[in-house]
Amino acid sequence: MYQIIRAEIAEQTYRDLEVRARKSYENRSKNKKNKASPVEGLFKQIHKTLELLSQNPRHPSLQTHEYDSIPNPLNPEQKVFEAYVQQHTPGAYRIFWCYGPGKRQITVIAITPHP
C-alpha cells in the first residue's frame, strides 16, 4: 500500500468537492429523494480512484500513464502520471500524481477535469 499525500491545490479541490457532495446529500435526504446528484457521484468516483491508487498505482481501471505537460514538483527529473477518474464523459476528471517524497508514498498534484 502507498500513502497518499495531497498537494495543497489537490487537497483544496478534494475538500471542496467533499463539502459540495455532503450538502447535496443532506438536501437530498431532507427532501426524501433517492437519486444521488452528479457532485455526489463525482466525489465517490474520486475517492474510489484514490483508494485504488493507494493499493496499486498500475490498477487497470486507472489507465495510469505518463503525463509530460506538468513538471514533477518534487523532482523535475522524475515523471508525473495521470490516472482516470472518469471515462467517456465530457470534462472527465483526472488525477495527476508522482511518486514521493518518501518510499511507498504518492503525491497527488491535482484533481481536475481533463484539460
CATH number at residue 39: 3.30.2310.20
Residue with grid cell 503525491, as numbered in its chain: 107
Beta bridge partners of 94: 84, 112
Pair 101, 6: CB distance under 8 Å: no
Mean pLDDT across the chain:
93
Give the pLDDT confidence of 74-107 residue by residue, as tens digits: 999 999 999 999 988 888 999 999 999 999 999 9
Which range of residues forms the domain containing residue 94? 3-113
Band of pLDDT at residue 109, cut at 50, 70 and 90: very high
Mark 56-86 as b/e (b = at least 16 C-beta within 10 Å): eeeeeebebeebeeeebebeeeeebbbbbbb
Model confidence at 115: pLDDT above 80: no
The total number of structural domains in the chain stands at 1
Give the pLDDT confidence of 20-76 residue by residue, as tens digits: 999 999 988 888 888 888 899 999 999 999 999 999 999 999 999 999 998 999 999
In angstroms, the Cα distances linking 97 to 21, 40, 74 are: 23, 23, 11
Mean pLDDT, residues 14-21: 96
